[in-house]
Amino acid sequence: MAISPLDSVIFADMFGTAAMRDTFGDDAFLARCIEVEAALARAQGKLGIIPVEAANAITHAANALAAGRAALDLTRLKRETETVGYPILPLVRQLAQFADGAGRYVHWGATTQDIMDTAVVLQIRAGLALLEEDLTATRSHLAEFAHKYRDTPMAGRTHLQHALPVTFGYKAAVWLYALDRHADRLRELRPRVLLAQFGGAAGTLASLGNGEEALSTRAELARELGLGDPAITWHVVRDGIAETVQVLALLAGSLGKIAYDIMLMSATEFGEAAEPFVQGRGSSSTMPQKRNPISCELILAAAKVLRQEAGLVLDAVVTDFERATGPWHVEWVAVPEAFGYAAGALHQARFMLGGLIVDTGRMAKNLAMTHGLIVAEAVMMGLAPHIGRNEAHDLVYDACRVAIESDRPLLDVLLETPEAAAPLGPDKLRELTDPVNYLGAAPAMVDRVLAGR
């Protein structure tokens, strides 16, 4: 019976994705461990450390397991793992049996953490590829919004109140700008994270001899797996793993910001956007009229969980001596869960943005609801050259108070205010109190974000 939403029969596809479960599930982890053992054997066979025939037999056994021609005894593996505390020795025993006489050369010179760390790195590589696919699609949706609504005015809000006009394209470009940087981060962290791990008992590779002979094994193992060859064993230097989870948490945080904005925009009082319509989606058990922002809520939940995973994995960075006494185990929990929730958040964002309903009419209505008050700054800056900036501020402040209390357009009040009407005149005041004329560099900034796409 599952106790995590990520592998729940009910919630798994809301909080995660099948592809990421396949990447970080038990079967995938064991397959990657076997892949590493086989690659190690081939590397050592090429270097003459073990017989080539043995390397071939070990690879053949690994391939048979991968193809389903042979199967691990998972009950035995579970029982022995609970006894040993780690799954690699029990796994090596079974792999050795499948390799017959060549089994004596399985795991030659390696230690448990070599195999597990390298297997996790392979999982991370596959997980990053899955995330990048959804991230690319999500960014594409936002780029379309930024282009289409580049000049579509709407109310910009600070402290949940009207501030100044923006455009919906500008808002989408702001969201996109963050996701573009996360795409850069996912690409840039690869050389620091996708490294083979092979150091033996204490990281020195002493069981394989001295100097270059030992190091050549790690280099060849890295080539076999398509990974980087680190300068030194990283058993107790966990910053690369931690960085990966931090980037996922940052990504989820930015997705959470998008979700939070859209969730607020979909509130009845705003009505500026809505999640894609699917029959029955977001329904209430008691209120037939409800259409709850389900994807946004799931993204926000994922962002909060990933924040905790980011903090958790930082604890694994603080290790003792040449083999940690427990912090490493934290990664066993945090890394798969972080990828699971990140995949779920991106999946929901891709779906939600792919069919987002944008109500430009409601944006225009909301923008006009304060009858020009949203561009009070424009009037102030227009008056400032004539009467001084501070004086203009106070004059417009008083005019705004009158407009609010009398529920009248700001323009009407300003036209009745000689200190404003005289220096600017009716036409200029009409121009300054039209929100469409006070978008600043918002469209130009949209163009910069979209440049080169």
101 Cβ contact partners less than 8 Å away, ≥ 6 residues apart: 54, 57
* Residue 358 DSSP label: E
The residue from 8, 182, 284, 386 that is catalytic is: 284
First to last CA, the chain: 47
Q: Where do runs of H (alpha helix) occur along 160-228?
A: 168-188, 190-193, 212-225
Per DSSP, the three-state class of 165 is strand
Task: Count CA within 13 A, CB hemisphere, residue 27.
Answer: 10
SS3 content of the chain, % helix, strand, coil (to 5): 70, 5, 25
Q: Which amino acid is at 136?
A: T
Q: Positive or negative CA dihedral for 279, 280, 281, 286?
A: positive
Nearest Cα to 293, choosing from 261, 245, 331? 261
Residues 341 and 373: their CA atoms lie apart, in Å, by 42
Active site residue 284: yes
**Active site (annotated) includes residue 159:** yes
Catalytic residue among 4, 60, 107, 159: 159
Q: How far is CA 159 from the centre of its chain?
A: 26
- Positions marked catalytic: 159, 284
